[in-house]
C-alpha cells in the first residue's frame, strides 16, 4: 500500500497543480487580468518551476526517487562508487515548504524535509526531517536566466545525527543561456557548495569519508523539444573535503557524475525530471541508476 502511495505522488501531484496554475484579478475597468506567473519572467522550464508560485503565500514541494542500479532496478541499495559514509539505501526524499514572495523574483521559504528508505521494500523509516530556512532570487537578461538559492538546515534525521551532523549551510547559482541561435538549444552552468557543522569530534571508526564541505561545478546542455518537453544532460565535477583531512585546503576529487534525462513542464510551476545517472570514467550497468525528481508549487 505504501509503495502505491509513493508512486501515485509522482503522477497525481502535477495534475493537482493544474487547478492553481491560473489566477485572475479584476481591474478597475472591470476586465479580468491574468496574474503574472514565472512563465513571463524566466524562459527555462526548470528554473521557472524552482521560482515557484507568484502568489504572496504559497506551498512548494520537491520530491525525488533515488533508485538502485540498472542491474537490480528494484534493489534495496544504491551504488556508492565514491565510498562515501552514510546510508545508501534506495530512497524517496524531498521537502515541503511555505513560501513568502518578496517580489516577482525573490522569495523566502521555510519547511521540513521528508524521507523514506527502500520504498519498494516496505517503506522503512518514513519520517519528517531536517527543518530549513531558505532564500532565493532569479535574474533575467534577455536570453540569460539565473537562479540563486541559499539555505540553512538543522539536521534531525537519525542517520545524519549518527554521523554527528548538526547544521548545514548551502548556496548555489545556476545560469542558463536559452534559445541559442533562436533554436531550442540551451547551455548552462551551475556552481554550488555546502558546509556542515558537527556536534561532536571526528570518529575514525564511523566517520571516514564523511564530508564537512564540498563544491560542484556542473556544465549542462538542454534542448527544448516543445513548450512541455525537454531533453537534458549535465556532468558534475565535484570536490569534497573529508573530516579526517588535516589540511583545510585539501580536497578529494569525486568521480565524474553524469545525468541524462527527460524533462516535462506540466505548468510553469510544475516540472518533472526523469533521468539516468552514470559515471563517465567507468560506464557500467551496476553503478548506473534511474531516478526522478519533481518540483511544484500550489496556491
Q: Decide if 210 contacts 163 (C-beta within 8 A).
A: yes
**pLDDT reported for residue 16:** 40
pLDDT digits (tens, 9 = 90+) for 134-175: 999 999 888 899 999 999 999 998 878 888 999 999 999 999
CA distances from 40 to 37, 144, 183 (A): 6, 14, 19
User: Buried b / exposed e across 210-242, counting CB within 10 Å, b at 16+?
Assistant: bbbbbbbebebebebeeeeebebebbbebbbbb
**pLDDT reported for residue 208:** 76
Mean pLDDT by 10 residues, the chain (299 residues): 39 39 44 53 89 94 90 82 77 94 95 88 81 95 92 90 93 95 94 96 83 96 95 97 91 94 94 94 87 91
CA distances from 234 to 69, 146, 149, 220, 277 (A): 19, 17, 19, 4, 10
Q: Percent of the chain, pLDDT > 90?
A: 56
**pLDDT reported for residue 39:** 54
**pLDDT reported for residue 194:** 97
pLDDT digits (tens, 9 = 90+) for 102-113: 999 999 999 999
Query: 27: which 3 cell numbers?
Result: 481591474
Superfamily of structural domain 2-21+32-298: monomeric porin ompg (2.40.160.40)
**pLDDT reported for residue 72:** 83
Residues in the chain: 299
**pLDDT reported for residue 160:** 86
**pLDDT reported for residue 282:** 83
SS3 content of the chain, % helix, strand, coil (to 5): 15, 55, 30
Amino acid at each position: 500500500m505504501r509503495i502505491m502511495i509513493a508512486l501515485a505522488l509522482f503522477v497525481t501531484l502535477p495534475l493537482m497543480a493544474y487547478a492553481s496554475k491560473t489566477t485572475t484579478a479584476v481591474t478597475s475597468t472591470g476586465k479580468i487580468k491574468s496574474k503574472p506567473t514565472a512563465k513571463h519572467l524566466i524562459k527555462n522550464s526548470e528554473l521557472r518551476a524552482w521560482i515557484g508560485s507568484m502568489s504572496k503565500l504559497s506551498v512548494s514541494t520537491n520530491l525525488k526517487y533515488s533508485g538502485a542500479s540498472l542491474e537490480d532496478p528494484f534493489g534495496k541499495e544504491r551504488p556508492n562508487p565514491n565510498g562515501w559514509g552514510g546510508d545508501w539505501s534506495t530512497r524517496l526524499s524531498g521537502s515541503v515548504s511555505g513560501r513568502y514572495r518578496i517580489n516577482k523574483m525573490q522569495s523566502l521559504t521555510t519547511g521540513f524535509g521528508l524521507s523514506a528508505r527502500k520504498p519498494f521494500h516496505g517503506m522503512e523509516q518514513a519520517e519528517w526531517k531536517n527543518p530549513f530556512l531558505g532564500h532565493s532570487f532569479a535574474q533575467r537578461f534577455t536570453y540569460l536566466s539565473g537562479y540563486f538559492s541559499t539555505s540553512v538546515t538543522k539536521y534531525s534525521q537519525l542517520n545524519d545525527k549518527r554521523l554527528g551532523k548538526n547544521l548545514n549551510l548551502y548556496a548555489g547559482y545556476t545560469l542558463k543561456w536559452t534559445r541559442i541561435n533562436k533554436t531550442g538549444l540551451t547551455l548552462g552552468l551551475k556552481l554550488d557548495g555546502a558546509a556542515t557543522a558537527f556536534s561532536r569530534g571526528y570518529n575514525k571508526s564511523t566517520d571516514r569519508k564523511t564530508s564537512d564541505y564540498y563544491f560542484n561545478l556542473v556544465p549542462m546542455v538542454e534542448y527544448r523539444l516543445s513548450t512541455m518537453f525537454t531533453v537534458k544532460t549535465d556532468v558534475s565535477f565535484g570536490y569534497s573535503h573529508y573530516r579526517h583531512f588535516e589540511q583545510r585546503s585539501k580536497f578529494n576529487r569525486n568521480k565524474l557524475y553524469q545525468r541524462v534525462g527527460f524533462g516535462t513542464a506540466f505548468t510553469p510551476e510544475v516540472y518533472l525530471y526523469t533521468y539516468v545517472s552514470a559515471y563517465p570514467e567507468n560506464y557500467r550497468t551496476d553503478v548506473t541508476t534511474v531516478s526522478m525528481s519533481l518540483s511544484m508549487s500550489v496556491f
